[in-house]
């Protein structure tokens, strides 16, 4: 958390409210959150106007007028928040950008795993945050055959494959579970044994699930950790079919099974044992 839908929601907030704004000042409270020195980072952004935004997987960026961009990877607990200038700073605020017009952009991160980097969006291989990231899960250029080629010969479970950002970027634990339930396919099914029809179905449901989650502004769980840049909660939690629903009835019409919580690839996962019988082949 946050995954692609949450990052895309934040990116859209920032794009709508920051494009055209100039960064008048920058305060790096905790140097560890920026790649490179705070001085170099500050020199690269202060006085620059924000002219656009972008995203690949879970990494988003704000385009600057000189061709560079501020890349942000929120990782486990990072937040990018737009607040009124002078408003009380939340705990764990590690970076403050003065945007003028009585606004500020804060980077807040209790666990301090997230990072910010000055990048050239046209040269992702030169970026620490982007160089090892595969195609975006919603990219129009991503096809089932590309995923099958990447999965060929791999014995890891299909869920673990979807979580590996080198192969497809943006999917995390929540949405991988939801996607595989809709396919339906067991999370432990070896990635290398997934058929072309199943991979096409995975890609189809990836677009469906992520699209619905973006429309709902992401998923805010019971810990209330995720908020959009404007402080809104995501509403997709009430639409989850398996994630976090251990012991509850499956929501597939006609299914009487209850959702189970298991371990797959060293991580907890949720599934319907009837709909997603591991290794069972179903028509897409």
Exactly one of 2, 135, 184, 187 is catalytic; which is it?
2
What is the three-state SS of 40-82?
A: HHHHHHCCCEEEEEEEECCEEEEEECCCCEEEEECCCCCEEEE
Exactly one of 3, 6, 8, 198 is catalytic; which is it?
3
Which domains, ranges and CATH numbers included, belong to the chain?
Answer: 4-126 (3.20.190.10), 144-271 (1.10.8.50)
**Alpha-carbon gap, residue 137 to 59, rounded angstroms:** 12
Exactly one of 154, 267, 277, 282 is catalytic; which is it?
267
In tens digits, the chain (284 residues) has pLDDT values of 799 999 999 999 999 999 999 999 999 999 999 999 999 999 999 999 999 999 999 999 999 999 999 999 999 999 999 999 889 999 999 999 999 888 999 999 999 999 999 999 999 999 999 999 999 999 999 999 999 999 999 999 999 999 999 999 999 999 999 999 999 999 999 999 999 999 999 999 999 999 999 999 999 998 878 999 999 999 999 999 999 999 999 999 999 999 999 987 788 999 999 999 844 444 43
**Alpha-carbon gap, residue 191 to 197, rounded angstroms:** 13
58 included as an active-site residue: yes
Exactly one of 55, 58, 241, 245 is catalytic; which is it?
58
Say what the pTM is: 0.95
């Amino acid at each position: 958390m946050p995954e692609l839908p949450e990052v895309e929601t934040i990116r859209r907030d920032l794009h709508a409210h920051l494009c055209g704004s100039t960064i008048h000042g920058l305060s790096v409270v905790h140097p560890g959150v920026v790649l490179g020195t705070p001085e170099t980072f500050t020199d690269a952004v202060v006085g620059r106007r924000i002219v656009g935004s972008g995203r690949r997987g879970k990494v988003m960026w704000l385009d600057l007028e000189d061709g560079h961009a501020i890349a942000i990877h929120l990782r486990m607990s990072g937040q990018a928040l737009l607040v009124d200038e002078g408003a009380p700073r939340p705990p764990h605020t590690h970076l403050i950008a003065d945007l003028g017009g009585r606004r500020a952009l804060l980077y807040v991160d209790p666990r301090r795993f997230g990072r910010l980097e000055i990048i050239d969006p046209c040269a992702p291989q030169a970026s620490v945050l982007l160089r090892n990231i595969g195609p975006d899960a919603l990219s129009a250029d991503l096809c089932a055959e590309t995923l099958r080629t990447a999965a060929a010969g791999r014995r890891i479970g299909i869920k673990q494959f979807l979580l590996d950002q080198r192969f497809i970027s943006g999917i995390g634990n929540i949405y991988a579970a939801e996607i595989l339930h809709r396919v339906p396919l067991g999370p432990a099914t070896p990635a290398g044994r997934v058929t072309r029809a199943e991979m096409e179905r995975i890609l189809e449901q990836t677009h469906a699930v992520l699209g619905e989650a973006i429309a709902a502004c992401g998923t805010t769980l019971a810990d209330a950790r995720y908020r959009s840049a404007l402080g809104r909660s995501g509403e997709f939690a009430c639409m989850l079919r398996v994630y976090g629903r251990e012991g509850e009835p499956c929501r597939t019409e006609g299914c009487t099974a209850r959702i189970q919580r298991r371990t797959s690839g060293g991580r907890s996962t949720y599934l319907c044992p009837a709909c997603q019988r591991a290794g069972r082949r179903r028509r897409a």
